Each structure stands twice: as structure tokens, then as C-alpha cells.
Amino acid sequence: MLESVMSCLDVSSCLIGLFILLLAMFFRSRKPKNLPPTPGTALPFVGHLYMLEKNPRQQFKQWAEQFGSMFTLKMGPNTAVFINTLDTLKEAFIKQGDYFSDRPNNLFAVKFSQNFDKGLVLSSGSYWKSQRTTSLAILRNFGMGKNILAEKIIEEISFFTKELARKNGQPSDIRNLTNMSISNIICSIIFGKRFEFGDEKFTELVQMFNEAVKANSADLILNFVPILYYLPFDFFKGKRLLEIIGQLRQFDFEKIREIKKSYDPDNLDNYIVAYIDEMRKEASLDQKSYLDEICLARNIDNLFIAGTETTSTTIMWCLLYMLHYPEVQQRIYKEIVEQIGTERPPNITDKSNLKYLTAVIMEVQRKASIVPLGLPHLCNKDTTLAGYNIPKGTIVMPNLDAIHASKEIWGDPETFRPERFLDDKGNVMTREELMPFSIGRRKCLGESLAKMELFLFLSSLFQQFEFLPASPDKVPPLTKTWGGVAASEPFEIRCVERNK
Ligand code: HEM
């Protein structure tokens, strides 16, 4: 009996195997010619997804070394090309910017949630251009990259450092607090006010954004195999993601309604009223406008999501690196004492004098490479890149991580060495190969805000505190988690006030 079952199983396994092989051959024969190389055979339905490790970061770097400028992966039904070198990335995102500046429109959340592709981050074409130009103009008016905003950031830092001081040097995980403080900067811009750290509504909002970032990360399997959404329960977290999107949308519309009531064209002191003002101006021009309240709501989410987790994760990485390199932390403090002293908080004009700190931040951004694959772009026209064909509809991933870890570029990429960003006179050297904000038309909209936040937060933190591991003989590891934004593992830290 057992034998006959076994032989039946053998026959059926052979048939299934044969079927998969035939399908694989069929799909192979349909593969467009002269695509960048692939690391193995793509199976029907899943493509190369079966090859990916749970945290594929190392794999992506290894394939970059193996294949050079580009490699291709079939992600479910989508063809994705990964760009691994600076030259090819410049050719795509800058020289051929017309063809490589759209976003894919078949991501899970875009397909399953109405208007999800209307905001800054996921829109394409005229919609996107309009959101980007308007938002940049508003943020610049509020002083992005200028002193007015720096004052707001410095004020926020004073609340943040007071909270840190209250921990009395005891071990604590300060990730959430850091996240809330950075969120508060975005709150000041979008709503024109900050929230108290204990505010219930604010805590809930920040948690929702964090959850949305995690749930919608780059490796969300539903992006590639959306049919899995229909399985019972919520194994792939798609239902929860749509629920959060709904809650955020409700929150955004409530805020828009509330702020609209106090609209005063002579006092445009937050992003929402400034956008509404722009919307009204465009409406009066009798021409097609891409500004509307749906886009505004999406932009609010986008600015929160893109602008909070990224900056606070970078700050956390910097603190973690300092636990590993106390001599670097000491040198930063010495520079601060020499250039600013300890009596006044650092301001943005101090940046040109805190050269070593600036180099440390750059080295942390290179090593941590917190957005390892940037955001996905879409190729909107058949074209060629570095000698390969790139068909219209291909997803294009900038493998920023591979560039940041390239031996050819950095010589000793594994070593944490801030000096690589200083010349022999100690001046900061910007290097185009460092691109945590990506490049081209879709490069990070908040780059100058983020740089300002990183400098002001970190210089103030190192001026006021010494950061020590929770236990001297156990420094938390530099392990990188996988996701759209790659954080460290959670860790505790002691923030010891220097001049108590
Ligand atoms: C250290 C902090 C940050 C890092 C490392 C970072 C990195 C990035 C990267 C890699 C992209 C994708 C670019 C591309 O598609 O090629 C991006 C896009 C974006 N970032 Fe940032 N970002 C940071 C902070 C911020 C802040 C503070 C804001 C808020 C103002 C922001 C807003 C955006 C927006 C709106 C986009 C989408 C731009 C578009 O699609 O046109 N980011 N960011």
C-alpha cells in the first residue's frame, strides 16, 4: 500500500517538475533580448523571488560585484533592473531623466487603495511635477536650508535634550523619542505647531506612520504577488496596511478641514494653508491644475513618512557608531568645545567650522546606507542603458548600497573612517559617490532639511551628552535590519550629561 502511494507521489512529483520546467522554458523564450544578466533561472509566477534571502542586502551587493553595472531580477510578474554603478545611475537618472523618473503604478497599495499614487512620492508625470514644484516652493518659503527653519529645529532640540537629561544617564532605548522629536519638525512645517511628547493623539499618529513604513516596505510580498491578499486571515499584513492608510487619510482630511477654517492669505504659516492658497490661485487661472485636496492629503502622509523615519534612523546609527568608536566621539566633542564652547547651542552657521563632525555624519550615511535600494523608478520608454536593452515598464532600482560599499570607489569600504571625507588641510570633501539621497529629478525632496536636522541634532547632542553603552562590555551590534529604511537592531544607550 505504502509502496503504491509512494510511486504515485513519484509520478505526480515528476509531472509537476516537468510542468514547472516547461513553464520556465516558455517564460525564458519570451524574455526580452539583451537584458542585464540574471543570477539564476526565473520560475513561473514567482520569478527570482525564491532565490532571495530573508535579508537580501548582502546578496544584492554580491550580485553587484559579480555582474558589474546592472543585473535583472524577475519579481513575480515584474522585471526589475538594479543599477549598481555611479556612471550607469547618472546615465539613467540624469542623462535619460525623461525616461527614468516615473514610479511603478502596480504596487500593492496603489492598486488596492484609491488615489494612493496621487502624492509626491508615488505619482508620475504632470501630477508629480506639480506636487514637487509646489511643495519645494512652500518648503523653501518656510526656510528649508535657511535660518528660519533652523530656529524651529533648535527649539525642538531643546525639548528633546531635556527629555534625554531626565533619563539621568540610565540605559534607555531612545529610538521612539528621537522619532517623535523629528516628527515634530515635520509637524511644525505641515500644521504650524509641535506636539508635547506625551500627547496621546500625536503618539498614536507617529505609531501609525511607523507601522505604515514597516508594512509598506520594499520587500512587501504583496507588491509582487498581489493575489496573496485574498488568502484568509492577514498573513501578509495587506489588510492591516489598508486599514492604516484609511486611518491616516481620515486624519489628514480632518486636519485639512480644521486648518482650512482659519485660512488667511496674509498668514500662510504652514504647509496645508500654503498649498490651499496655491490651489486657489491655480483654480483662478482657468488652466488645468493638478493640485487638489486628495493630493494634499497624500502629500501630508508622504512628507511624514519620507521625512521622519529616515532622519531619526540616521541619528540612531550615528549614536550606535559612537558606541563602537568612542575616540571618534571624543574628537567630535573636542572640536565642538574649540569651535563653539559649551555655553550656547550650535547653530547652522557653525557647520562650516565643525568639519570633523560633518565628515562623521557623511561616513555614517555611507556605512549605514539606510535606504539601500532608494525608491523604485519606472522606465517609461524602450531604451538602452550601458549597452543593455531596458524595455518600457521595467522597474529600476538604484542599488545605492552597492555604490556605498564599492571597493573600487572607497578602497576600504568596510572600515569606518570619517577622514575619507576630509582633505589634507582638514576641509570637508564632498564626493558624488556618496548619495544617500539618490540623484536626478526624483532625488530626495527633503535633502537640505535632512542635512540641517542631522547637523543641528547631532552637534547639540554631542555638545551636551556623552553616549555610552548600557553595559561597558557589551556594545550593541551594528547589524542592519532589512526594509525600505534599514535601521539597526533596537538597543539601549546611556546619555550622560557632560556639564551637570
Ligand atoms: C537622512 C534623511 C533622508 C534620507 C537618507 C532620504 C533619502 C531619500 C531617498 C533615497 C529618496 C528616493 C529618491 C529616488 O527616488 O531616487 C527620497 C525621496 C524623498 N524624500 Fe527623502 N530622505 C531623507 C529625509 C527626507 C526628509 C526630511 C523629507 C521631508 C521633507 C524627505 C522627503 C522625501 C520625498 C517627498 C521624496 C520623494 C521625492 C519624489 O519622488 O520626487 N526626505 N529620500
What is the predicted pLDDT for the residue at 9? 46
Using 50, 70 and 90 to split pLDDT, how confident is the model at 5?
Answer: very low
35-47 per-position pLDDT tens digit: 999 999 999 888 9
385-404 per-position pLDDT tens digit: 999 999 999 999 999 999 99
Asked whether the predicted pLDDT for residue 125 surpasses 70, the reply is: yes
Q: How many residues does the chain have?
A: 500
Q: What's the mean pLDDT in 49-60?
A: 91
Q: What's the mean pLDDT in 29-33?
A: 64
pTM here is 0.91
Using 50, 70 and 90 to split pLDDT, how confident is the model at 264?
Answer: confident
- Of 178, 160, 147, give the one whose Cα is nearest residue 350: 147
Domains (range + CATH), the chain:
31-497 (1.10.630.10)
Query: Distance (Å, rounded) from C-alpha 421 to C-alpha 357?
Result: 11
Q: What's the mean pLDDT in 292-312?
A: 93
What is the predicted pLDDT for the residue at 6? 45
188-203 per-position pLDDT tens digit: 999 988 999 989 988 9
What is the predicted pLDDT for the residue at 397? 96
Average pLDDT of the chain to the nearest whole number: 90
Q: What's the mean pLDDT in 272-282?
A: 94
How far does the centroid of ligand 1 lie from the alpha carbon of residue 337, in Å? Answer: 32
Asked whether the predicted pLDDT for residue 17 surpasses 80, the reply is: no
How far does the centroid of ligand 1 lie from the alpha carbon of residue 415, in Å? Answer: 26
Query: Distance (Å, rounded) from C-alpha 352 to C-alpha 455?
Result: 11
DSSP β-bridge partners for residue 465: 497
Ligand 1 atom nearest to 139, measured from its CA: 30
Kindly state the helix (H) or strand (E) to which residue 316 belongs, with its residue range. helix 293-324
Query: Distance (Å, rounded) from C-alpha 441 to C-alpha 94?
Result: 7
409-433 per-position pLDDT tens digit: 999 999 999 999 999 999 999 999 9
What is the predicted pLDDT for the residue at 434? 98
Asked whether the predicted pLDDT for residue 292 surpasses 90, the reply is: yes
Ligand 1 atom nearest to 122, measured from its CA: 40
Query: Distance (Å, rounded) from C-alpha 455 to C-alpha 452?
Result: 5
Query: Residue 444 annotated as binding?
Result: yes
Q: For a ligand 1 pocket test, name from 187, 216, 310, 311 the mutation site with the most ligand atoms within 8 angstroms of its C-beta.
A: 310
Q: Of the given ranges (171-175, 210-214, 351-355, 490-494), which has the lowest mean pLDDT?
A: 210-214
* 3-class SS letters over 101-158: CECCCCCHHHHHCCCHHHCCCCCCHHHHHHHHHHHHHHHHHCCCCCHHHHHHHHHHHH
How far does the centroid of ligand 1 lie from the alpha carbon of residue 445, in Å? Answer: 5
Would you state the cell numbers that stand for residue 280, as one nine-digit string?
Answer: 486657489
The CA-atom distances, in angstroms, between 5 and each of 2, 13, 32, 302, 441 are: 5, 12, 42, 56, 61
Asked whether the predicted pLDDT for residue 332 surpasses 60, the reply is: yes
Name every protein residue with a CB atom under 6 angstroms from any ligand 1 atom.
120-121, 132, 302-303, 306-307, 310-311, 314, 370-371, 374-375, 398, 436-438, 442-446, 449-450
Asked whether the predicted pLDDT for residue 15 surpasses 80, the reply is: no
Query: Distance (Å, rounded) from C-alpha 451 to C-alpha 204?
Result: 27
Strand 78-83, strand 395-398: pairing? parallel
Asked whether the predicted pLDDT for residue 229 surpasses 60, the reply is: yes
Please tell me whether the interface predicted TM-score (ipTM) of this complex is above 0.90. yes
232-260 per-position pLDDT tens digit: 888 777 888 888 888 888 989 999 999 98
The CA-atom distances, in angstroms, between 461 and each of 74, 155, 174, 187, 418 are: 45, 13, 13, 21, 18
- Cα 144 to chain center, whole Å? 19
6 vs 411 pLDDT, higher one: 411
Cβ-based neighbours of 318, under 8 Å, separated by 6 or more: 360, 361, 364, 454, 458
Cβ-based neighbours of 243, under 8 Å, separated by 6 or more: none
Asked whether the predicted pLDDT for residue 137 surpasses 80, the reply is: yes
Q: What's the mean pLDDT in 487-491?
A: 94
Asked whether the predicted pLDDT for residue 300 surpasses 80, the reply is: yes
